Structure 1
Amino acid sequence: PGFTGTETITYTISDGTTTSSGTLTIEVQNAAPVAVDDSYTVTEGNTLLVDAGLGLLANDSDVDGDALAVVSFSTPVNGVLDIAGDGSFSYTPNPGFSGIETISYTIGDGSASSTAQLEIAVEAAAEPEVVRIGDAPTRVSSANLNVIQDAWSGMHVASIEHKADITDAAEPWSDVSFSGVNTTTLAGVDHFSGDLGVSGQSLATSSIRQELDGREALRFELDQAANKVTVDLARFFLNDDGSVYAESGRLQVLDASGSVVGETVFSATATSGAMTVNLETEDAFSAVELTSGAYDGTDFIFGAYADAGGDFGTAPYADAAGKLHGSDFLVDWVEFEFMPLATPPAPDVGIG
């Protein structure tokens, strides 16, 4: 097996009296290898890695038993492909591409060659589920007394909770309230004209007691993993109370164990009072926490201001008249992007 070339055989014939010799020449020609088309599947945004055992040569053959190798391949249009001689390969689709990538490749046995098609199906990645809560009306109506609470409810948002002092480990988180008129205690109504905050006022820096101030904290508990949150703020001012300072805050996301897996700090950039804050993480999170304040070095000072450039400005302070000043704000709406639930991937194996 595997022999190619010329075989020469000498033979002799006889009629019983005399003999005669002759030569038999056999030319054994190389048989070309047989390349069989292959197909694989990968999800958009991922890299397909295939080892030699499941690679392009796994379903190809050579009747002579010659060793096979991939000797050339065409350039893909929609991604980056690297094929080794043993048929192993990697393929990374271009960002945003989904569809069929077709590549020609040629195998050889050292003498002859054969060409086949490699087809890679790039499946579109599942889109995240987007849920927005808030954007509540400024007041309830007789047609729906729960209209504000309904606006702050949404799929996968298990609860909205608050604390008067997030640094107090002994204080439990408690549910926010959307009904009532009392704003002097934590158990009071937690929205102002539909915008969400924390009632009770731990630091009297605003005439609106529901603004998130001092050591107060607002928390959104989720029942499905998310990887992005967007928060739209209200009453969040640059040059707050006529000062040179900018109101500031902190957005943190936590995993199921309570560990912080992402954080961003933000400060007001306009006197309009509106600002939108985004935070996207590689690690999944199941809770979102909001607090007011700014970092002074590595220390977070609750209720502090930032300066106009976003750096630490000053801790909360009282002016000559005794009025307190510090960062405080409300939340107009919150939007979550939930990660698609995992499904078993299709096996990335060749067909043929």
Structure 2
Amino acid sequence: MQRRGSRGVQMPPLEEFPEGPRRTVLENLHALYRAADRPGVRTISDGLADGDFRATMNRTLVSQVFRGDQWPTAWQLDSLVRWLTRRAIDGRDPDAEANRFLALYQHAEVVGDLTSRAPVASRASLMVLCNTKLGLGVLLQDGTVLTRASLVTEDENSQPARRGLAVRAIDSSGPWTDADILWRDPELSGLAVLAPSSRVDGAAGARWGTVPPPGSRVRIYGVHDSRRGEGLHRIAGIWLAGTTMGPTGSDGGWQLDVSVPPDSDGMSPARIGNWLAGAAVLDESGRVVGVLSHQLPQTSFYWMTPFDVITAQVPSLARRR
């Protein structure tokens, strides 16, 4: 739907929909939308229904596509482009525009760009360093960091670390921020909360949500070491797509089937392994619905601790939602 106080639907900002082939499609669609004098979503929906187009779209879907919340099918995009082109002030050719958009769309599909309007929540994803051991965590709204209890152990006796703890945003080039253990579940399969000594540069607190039903799409922002031997500062961030499979076991964990884009330098969930423990799991709206706990070795199956279980383990978290 159109936003109050503005004319027409707006292009999502970079921090919510980052650069990539899908953003290129969306930017070109918005340019065509402006050339067509920013018609209302109801007008677009009615025009598609009344005309000879390959797809019809209700006004909610039209709005979702323009906001970046929904990736259109090829036929939906073709219909939108042809309808808008016929209204454009500069006399574009509908067939030429449809072919141009199809090429952009196919490029995004071929390279496996899975971006949706959720990546703003990636700024809640942190790297957590415990001496030489690296894991992931989630920045909470009060500035503390949620991570796995198994990460912040110092020796084989599972004693909590007294030193060597630091956190940093995955995509930040800034320094590591020292941190102390604020709370830690004595069970290594549980969680821990860290208190950074200062604000973590380039990071924002998580927005929480409930786990979507089985079969829903989720996304994970983690790290993989694509340039081994060059130090922790060379570790790269990576987006992964996942599907919720449902709760399994008595601990309330949910199973996920995880995949990586096909152009990810030979990476796979099996190769990335437990590098992802502690990573935020995001729903399609960008809310964090859980954190990854562990992987079935050498497979694409992971488990996450969902939000309701997290709040049961860390009761104070419910007040930070």
Same fold by TM-score greater than 0.5: no
When you count strand as a share of all residues, which structure comes out higher? Answer: 1
Flag the structure with larger Rg. 1
Higher-helix-fraction structure: 2
